[in-house]
Structure 1
């Protein structure tokens, strides 16, 4: 089965690599029972971007399982009032809940990609001020001072990195530990993810971990910028392809969460955009939403990141797929490659 996948996918990824020029080969890892396919550098850790939201959601659900936190807890009972000021419509902070933050329905702006009332966009600041280090308070202040709430809590879905920063702060307040320590203590160390860390905040357990793979914000290579400290609980994890496959496996084999918690996270409630639906820190791909002829492909569960990163579990083939295309300009090509992988898995399993 592995040989079949190599024969089907190597020509595709070789062509993709040629077309990408200086970006080089994407990182690809696909595993399933009796199967392992990889392309590109298998050892380089990469910035996973919003795949990190999955880890944040896991940490939240672990506290829910322990009875430390309720999904319906109002945010005003969990965070100091000054952290919530001017992030919500009217008195929305008193009505917004943890559930709404997880499902992107709390109505807060999105500091990373949302529109601004004044000044440059956040992405512009990250590129123009590469030495700037962003704290969680800075991220919340950007939404507070330069953006407007998008809706009343519970009114509609609106993807929000700001909301996940608030979740990170809730985790810190309830545990008394920094967010990056929680990642290591509750996820990285138990799963032996020795080549994973929170960018700008911690270090991998393995001191021989290679340097972070390069990545491009539009046409600017930014992997060494201090300003990429901006992702934090909204998606600041770096990991190798193998570490992310291990994380994906742990999500679905009960190593991190009870079945009820996984069911909550993976219940699709809203459409993110055509072909992508959203639960609570989890996405589900419905390929027919991209193009009707793709109807019948599996519906993988996981998350994408703005850098053309993917971590998905395909339940039909019991397959885990991790991709890194290294660039904000490579999202379309990364999805076309994921479709090729799903088609190849289907043909290999049928044979």
Structure 2
């Protein structure tokens, strides 16, 4: 995923005013007063943002900071939206559950978990007899396996999938299709462990590892291990499952979803796509724009799977964030391993393993005092972050590849207002 932004330049223009805000805190508020002040000030910010977004309308925003008495929502708390690469945090969480269960280790070779025909052509195997060139689960999680990125990476022929989503909107992609795209139209970008190179293809392989190791298809694992236990009743894997609320409301849809179940074989997780038996196409989600193109109804969104194919709501994502950071999904040690910043993703952003850390000081020295939230962003200017200083979950959906800069300005404003509330 390439960020279509220049964060430092655009954000700097707002830094001085934000710093002034942070210096003008009125002390002596009660927590209730501080929470009300947070709401008023963030409402004003979002009113300005909404006016500037024009036809895009209001972004979806959720901030949950129980310690500060803050439970803020704006722009539709129950509207489902495409979370994009936020889904990588879900996949990484499922992988760490496998690690904790002893089914795999982070150092298990990929070639020990997937058959050679799935791995052929994806890795640089120069000087190695290993089908994955010695790549491990950790390499895939940290984007250091040397695998190309089918979505946005260089191609030897034609156009990347990012472009094909728009030019071929009715195309249904399976995980096998996506692996084949990288195999035949791209080249590995390096040897395993050699360098960081963001790879959606690598997360497709992680999804396949999860299926092979558990005997369950990927969307079942999401529902059984995350969505259902956490009461995330409006979340699903687009084109593969339906949210619990819809299953209860529509028995026919539930019966159709059951057709997707079974023991997976290579490509079985989306075999129903080719037969057009998937229920995902009927899900109504918030509008989203790829450039100028409104694409929320495109079947080509099936190009996202284990790397970011989830649809969810602000409320459901807040629930996931809270559970993840209180240790309900994986141990605190596993979470710390995922969150550990290892590589530079972008100016001001470091990457761990399915999680990012934002360092606002990288955008401007005036922002060095802000917390360093951890989580993930998606190409549609979607955010899921946890502020460890204020124990706050933050969800943003700006729903456009052209709104990343504006979304980060809002993230900065939220962090400023959380700091203000904490000092009150």
TM beyond 0.5: yes
Measured after TM superposition, the shift of residue 94 of structure 1 is 3.6
Aligned to 2:146: 107
Instruction: Kindly indicate whether the alpha-carbon contact (under 8 Å) linking 1:110 and 1:159 is maintained by their aligned counterparts in 2.
Output: yes
CA distance in 2, matches of 1:266, 1:145: 33
1:264 aligns with 2:333: no
TM-score by length of structure 1 reads: 0.98
1:239 aligns with 2:272: no
Aligned to 1:84: 119
Aligned to 1:142: 181
CA distance in 1, matches of 2:405, 2:217: 35
Instruction: Kindly indicate whether the alpha-carbon contact (under 8 Å) linking 1:75 and 1:94 is maintained by their aligned counterparts in 2.
Output: no
Instruction: Kindly indicate whether the alpha-carbon contact (under 8 Å) linking 2:79 and 2:313 is maintained by their aligned counterparts in 1.
Output: yes
CA distance in 1, matches of 2:169, 2:139: 32
Residue deviations 1:143-201, cap 9 Å, x none?
Answer: 11111111100001111100000000000111111100100011001101000000111
CA distance in 2, matches of 1:124, 1:288: 33
Measured after TM superposition, the shift of residue 2 of structure 1 is 2.1
Aligned to 1:32: 65
Instruction: Kindly indicate whether the alpha-carbon contact (under 8 Å) linking 2:123 and 2:133 is maintained by their aligned counterparts in 1.
Output: no
Aligned to 2:86: 51
SS of the equivalent of 1:234 reads coil
Aligned to 1:304: 377
SS of the equivalent of 1:342 reads helix
CA distance in 2, matches of 1:149, 1:269: 21
2:285 to 194, 212, 231: 212
CA distance in 2, matches of 1:307, 1:347: 29
CA distance in 1, matches of 2:110, 2:389: 38
1:128 aligns with 2:167: yes
Any unmatched runs of 5+ in structure 2? 1-33, 251-282
Measured after TM superposition, the shift of residue 277 of structure 1 is 0.5
Instruction: Kindly indicate whether the alpha-carbon contact (under 8 Å) linking 1:74 and 1:94 is maintained by their aligned counterparts in 2.
Output: no
2:416 to 339, 343, 350: 343
Instruction: Kindly indicate whether the alpha-carbon contact (under 8 Å) linking 1:46 and 1:238 is maintained by their aligned counterparts in 2.
Output: yes
CA distance in 1, matches of 2:360, 2:206: 30
Report which stretch shifted further, 232-241 or 262-271. 262-271
Q: Which runs of 4+ in 1 moved over 3 A?
A: none
SS of the equivalent of 1:303 reads strand
Aligned to 1:72: 107
CA distance in 1, matches of 2:356, 2:286: 25
Residue deviations 1:75-122, cap 9 Å, x none?
Answer: 111101011111111346140000000000000011111111110121
Residue deviations 1:1-48, cap 9 Å, x none?
Answer: 221112211111111111111110000000112111121111101100
Size of the aligned set, in residue pairs, is: 351
Any unmatched runs of 5+ in structure 1? none
Aligned to 2:238: 199
SS of the equivalent of 2:148 reads coil
2:50 to 10, 17, 21: 17
Over aligned residue pairs, what C-alpha RMSD do you find?
1.2
CA distance in 2, matches of 1:186, 1:235: 17
